[in-house]
Amino acid sequence: MKIAIVCYPTFGGSGVVATELGLELAQRGHEIHFITYKQPVRLALMNSNVHYHEVNVPEYPLFHYQPYELALSSKLVDTVKLHKIELLHVHYAIPHAYAGYMAKQMLKDEGIKIPMVTTLHGTDITLVGNHPFYKTAVSFSINKSDIVTSVSQSLKEATYELFNIKKDIHVIPNFIELGKTRNESEIKCERSIMAKQDEYIITHISNFRKVKRIPDIIKIFYKIQQSIPAKLMMVGDGPEREKAERLCEELGIQEKVIFFGNSNEIDKILSYSDLFLLPSETESFGLAALEAMAWGVPVISTNTGGLPEVNFDGVSGYLSDVGNVDEMANNALKILENPETLATFKEKALSVATQFDISNILPLYEALYQKAINNI
């Protein structure tokens, strides 16, 4: 199949998932065309089946905000015609599904019919899409998609609750490339870089937005380190970082917390880690938790959104209500205080992660692609 993939080219979960999906599809012989305003961060073009097309948005003084949707629609039309694309797969309802629909209509006028698969990732539904200014356009874009998928059952239910959706939504979870994660790096475990031999390493990775409840992470760790020797690795950057650094100083634990900022060595850090903290206000799926589990790292998380679909309570880690810092700290200690218990949780975390290996998820997308093409 010749497939055009539209996504955000950023470090965020949707961009990573879309890029990894496209690369794996290319490995299986499909011709993949990425269409976005910048080359995706994880996109390697060393494959004859992978192509990248940049969307250029000309600047005009007339426009206060440049019309990206218009430029994207035009680029989609040109790419479909030039490369004989058979299917569009857009990640995010807005602006991508909206632009995809406009491209479909322009192509239809030229006698070209092409199906569009729209994948909902979370923010496009629960935060941005639910704004009154966008709600009508989001409903329209989803309903005009030929096939709609969501990354969790929780997100599917939220979409039906928030919008007037008449389409079936297929749940296809996010995935991990398990073999790649564990074999590519061949990392030597030099834990002394970050912690002493007797210190446990606890990790959090995110964009440090308010929804991630960064202060809760510091508070959970503060309670943990009162009982056992430990270090906290804070990976990522964002608006809540400065507040977190101040809180560490107020609690007197600044020497036990390392703020890495955005890092390209996430796999290395996770390979050292003993526990992963994700006390988010909400998560449509929880890809960061899955990436940790792929390294055999148990997860302490909230029970909100799609997290219970990834982190199995009492198996790969523990779930708690949002804001229940004491319970999360106690659950962390349940895992860490006994080496045998920690080893068991690590083994089970990896076992759960294997269910989400891309080899299990990719055929689900391929089947929907074929269904969309057959029904056009």
pLDDT tens sequence across 6-46: 988 765 677 788 989 999 999 999 999 999 988 776 676 66
The CA distances from residue 215 to 243, 244, 250, 281, 318, in Å, are 8, 6, 12, 12, 19
Task: Return the residue matching tokens 């409840």.
Answer: 213
303: which residues sit within 8 A by CB, 6+ positions away? Answer: 313, 319, 320, 321, 322
State residue 208 phi and psi, 5-degree precision.
55, 35
Q: What is the pLDDT of residue 122?
A: 82
Burial tier of 89 (Cβ tally within 10 Å: 0-12, 13-18, 19+): buried
Task: Give the pLDDT score at 11.
Answer: 53
Q: What is the pLDDT of residue 250?
A: 97
Amino acid occupying residue 271:
S
pLDDT on residue 48: 86
Count of CA atoms in the C-beta half-sphere (13 A) of 240: 19
User: Six-digit token pair at 60?
Assistant: 């005009």
CA distances from 245 to 208, 258, 279, 293, 313 (A): 12, 10, 17, 26, 30
CA distance 128 to 130: 6
User: For position 183, what pLDDT does the model report?
Assistant: 47
pLDDT at 63: 63
pLDDT at 127: 61
Tokens found for residue 139: 């409903």
pLDDT at 185: 45
Helices 325-336, 339-354: crossing angle, 10 deg rounding: 100
Whole-number pLDDT of residue 62 = 63
The residues, any chain, with a CB within 8 Å of residue 93's CB and separated by 6 or more, are: 118, 120, 124, 125, 129, 138, 141, 142
> For residue 322, how far is the Cα from the chain centroid?
20
Residues of the chain under the 70 pLDDT cut: 10-12, 41-42, 44-46, 60-66, 124, 126-131, 180-190
Distance between CA atoms of residues 246 and 52, nearest Å: 42
Q: In 228-313, where does DSSP find H-type helix?
A: 241-251, 266-272, 287-293
